[in-house]
Amino acid sequence: MDPKTMLIVMVVAFGVFTWSALKRWRLLTVGAAIDRFDQIGERIKVALKIAIFQKKMPKYRTMGLIHIAIFWGFLALLLNTVILWGRGFDEGFNLWILGDNPLGHAYHFVKDVFSGVVLVAALLALINRVVVRPARFTLSFEATLILLIISTMMVADLAYWGWQQIETGQTGFVAGEPLASVSASLLGQLDRSTAALVGTVGFWTHSVLVLIFMNLLPYGKHFHVITAIPNVFLTSLDPKGRLPKDENIEKVLRDEEDEDEEEEPVFGVAEVQHFHWKDILDMFSCTECGRCTDNCPAAKTQKPLKPKTFLTAVRDHLYLRHEELTSEPQKSRPLIPVIVDPEVVWNCTTCRACEEECPVMISYVDKFVRLRRDLVESRGEPPAELATALRGIETNANPWNLSPMDRDGWTEGLEVPAFDADECEYLLFTGCMASFDDRAKKISRSLTQLLNQAGVSYGYLGSDEPCCGETARRAGSESNFRMIADMNIETFKELGVKKIITGCPHCFNTFKNEYPEFDGQFEVLHHTELLADLVAQGKLSPTERIEQRVVFHDGCYLGRYNDIYDAPRQLLARIPGLEVAEITQSKERGLCCGGGGARFFMEESGDRINGLRVSELVSAQPKSIASACPYCMTMLSDGLKDKDLFDDKGQLDVAELLAISCGLTDRKLLKQG
């Protein structure tokens, strides 16, 4: 080997890579500040589980296992690459690094096996990309080139180590390097000079291709090879259901505006540099695997929103503005509508299906909501129908703008005690939907009857019950939400509220995950959790048989946001006669009903998400669809009507089914859609 040639190659390659890496680093620093260096121990755990052990990859089993093989192969072969570079200067470098001992021999075996594993995995990935061509993939020349480079590197590596067996006089099959032995056997068919040439070409091919591969990384989707592990390590450790605060809105609410500030404060994200630096790292880390888009309800129903396309479009815009963003002055270049179609922003149901699937922990919901904040708070441009709902929340504490005096109309004929902290353990919070919607009111009635029978100590605020503010926050009206949250927290504290029961997952998520950030700490239970516990304790006894086959729909804010999958199923399983069916698209893979993220109050163009979800659910051939969210109930009922299935299929909340089995509710409800 020629040490001078190796030195020149490595100095040039690492010099160019350093220049490229610094260029990307400067772009990363244009993002807004955010602290992601807390809870180091927990971050290490997440990085090990998600990034190193690749927990999310097997969600797509075949390609997931292929990726795991390549990833682990590269980790195992990193030392092999260092050894090859070192042997360019000193052919005894591998002995200096590993030594002639059992540990060194074990590594050579591992290296040899992984060379074959990575070669096979890369070829399978190449076939998948070139022949199968899944719709979720971005079919680029770069991805194909990288797979060809990886395959070539593995072949070159085996050729080199096969030649080394010949050079060191190892004949026959060498158990410590089985694949290199096969290579040596093939090379042994050639004359010695030709075999040496093949081995030398293999050495330089592997050594140089690694350096070429390294220098390609910052300019394509494979940048994630460098950034994915840090991106996972730096992921948000806040509850999944918590949106980030807007610091400028916080300043306005605290009357801390800087009078000397020449420019108007930015609310949300108007331009690419308003994203946090961690958002930019997300963009660097996107593998373009398309798992997010493949599971997005908007994308599944042919809406303009495609999460992967959204992120890569913003990333490409960021790259194009590199020189401008890393210098002064900067021109104003709003993302909407030139780079991001406003319809894309409003298509998001905030269901988190994209985030559940992403193998490198990229967040999307917070990005869409912060873009909405710009449209609502800065520009005053919410969709017309959503503007009506926001006015209703602001003036009458409900998105339908109905009189607050009608909020407790559902209690007629029931014993519903008023909340008194000295006498009540729980505050029953029904929420806007289950207070004003005629169908959803039946959920509140069933829940109350169950609480009364179980002897639960609870109270209700009646017409004084406020809106939790969830719809306002997801719609981008952050200032409206903050005023609602502050008022509610103060009221709850004055009333002595410690524990809250709610049948609405949206209220549940808001109280449990978002209010604590504003000093509102309460113990919050979704009604399925409490009811499951009451049944387990024998305080509720479902004895009346319901001879039906049901399928349970997992609401996003109950499931993916708060991991409550078992409680509703446990309740259904305790009802005699009830047969509970499962479909593939359930639990964390359950499709959104289409009503989340304030979408319930907006018109939907094209194919309807609730129609697609109903089609999935009825594939289990149920008599009824069970749910645990009043918004999901309405969306699914509408889907059944659209498909002319409403007269044949029921749609009931889990609490309603339990109340029927406990003899508290008229069985006629079983025919309710």
pLDDT digits (tens, 9 = 90+) for 154-163: 999 999 999 9
Tell me the pLDDT tens digit for each residue of 490-514.
999 999 999 999 999 999 999 999 9
**Shortest CA distance to 548 belongs to which of 411, 427, 669, 369?**
669
Rounded to an integer, what distance in angstroms lies between the CA atom of residue 162 and that of residue 184?
4
> At 625, phi and psi to the nearest 5?
-105, 125
User: Are the CB atoms for 359 and 56 separated by under 8 Å?
Assistant: yes
Specify the long-range contacts of residues 7-11, CB closer than 8 Å, at least 24 apart: 7/89, 9/207, 9/208, 9/211, 10/85, 10/211
User: Quick one: pLDDT at residue 138?
Assistant: 82
Specify the long-range contacts of residues 30-33, CB closer than 8 Å, at least 24 apart: 30/273, 30/277, 30/280, 30/325, 30/326, 31/273, 31/275, 31/276, 31/277, 31/278, 31/279, 31/280, 32/273, 32/274, 32/275, 32/276, 32/277, 33/276, 33/277
User: What single string gives the DSSP state of each residue in 164-179?
Assistant: HHHHTT--S--TTSHH
User: Are the CB atoms for 532 and 570 separated by under 8 Å?
Assistant: yes
Rounded to an integer, what distance in angstroms lies between the CA atom of residue 293 and that of residue 299?
6
Tell me 336's DSSP state: T
Tell me the pLDDT tens digit for each residue of 568-601.
999 999 999 999 999 999 999 999 999 999 999 9
Cis peptide before 307 (omega within 30 of 0): no
- pLDDT over threshold 60, residue 396: yes
The segment(s) of the chain belonging to CATH 3.40.50.1860 are 396-534
Q: Which CATH architecture has domain 3-231?
A: Up-down Bundle (1.20)
User: Quick one: pLDDT at residue 192?
Assistant: 92
User: Quick one: pLDDT at residue 547?
Assistant: 94
- Which has more confidence, 233 or 102? 233
User: Quick one: pLDDT at residue 126?
Assistant: 95
User: Are the CB atoms for 389 and 470 separated by under 8 Å?
Assistant: no
- pLDDT over threshold 70, residue 250: yes
User: Which helix (H) or strand (E) element contains residue 427?
Assistant: strand 426-429
Cα 441-443-445 angle, rounded to 5 deg: 75
Query: Taking all residues of the chain, what is their mean pLDDT, rounded to a whole number?
Result: 94
**Contacts for 267 with CB less than 8 Å, ≥ 6 apart:** 246, 248, 249, 373, 374, 377, 378, 478
User: Quick one: pLDDT at residue 673?
Assistant: 46
Maximum mean pLDDT: which of 173-182, 183-192, 339-348: 339-348
- Order of strands across the sheet that contains 624-627: 578-581, 548-552, 624-627, 650-653
**Contacts for 338 with CB less than 8 Å, ≥ 6 apart:** none
| Cα 162 to Cα 104, 122, 172, distances in angstroms | 17, 21, 11
Q: Would you identify the CATH topology of the domain 396-534?
A: Rossmann fold (3.40.50)
> At 428, phi and psi to the nearest 5?
-85, 115
pTM passes above 0.85: yes
Instruction: Calculate the CA dihedral of residues 653, 655, 659, 664 and round it to 10 degrees.
Output: -100
User: Quick one: pLDDT at residue 90?
Assistant: 85
User: Quick one: pLDDT at residue 264?
Assistant: 77
Rounded to an integer, what distance in angstroms lies between the CA atom of residue 586 and that of residue 593?
12
User: Quick one: pLDDT at residue 374?
Assistant: 97
Taking the alpha carbons at both ends of the chain, their separation in whole angstroms is 78
Least confident of 50-54, 137-141, 502-506, 539-543: 137-141
Sign of the torsion formed by the C-alpha atoms of 183, 189, 190 and 191: positive
Rounded to an integer, what distance in angstroms lies between the CA atom of residue 336 and that of residue 314?
11
pLDDT band for position 646 (50/70/90)?
confident
User: Quick one: pLDDT at residue 1?
Assistant: 64
> At 273, phi and psi to the nearest 5?
-75, -10
CATH class of 238-378: mainly alpha
The segment(s) of the chain belonging to CATH 1.10.1060 are 238-378
Task: Determine the 3-state secondary structure of 462 from DSSP.
Answer: helix
The segment(s) of the chain belonging to CATH 1.20.950 are 3-231
Mean pLDDT to the nearest integer, 38-57: 97
Tell me 417's DSSP state: P
Tell me the pLDDT tens digit for each residue of 530-539.
999 999 999 9
**Shortest CA distance to 639 belongs to which of 671, 613, 603?**
613
Mean pLDDT to the nearest integer, 166-172: 86
Q: Tally helices (H) and strands (E) across the chain.
A: 29, 8
Q: 3.90.1070, 3.40.50, 2.60.120, 1.10.3470: which CATH number matches 539-671?
A: 3.40.50
pLDDT band for position 436 (50/70/90)?
very high
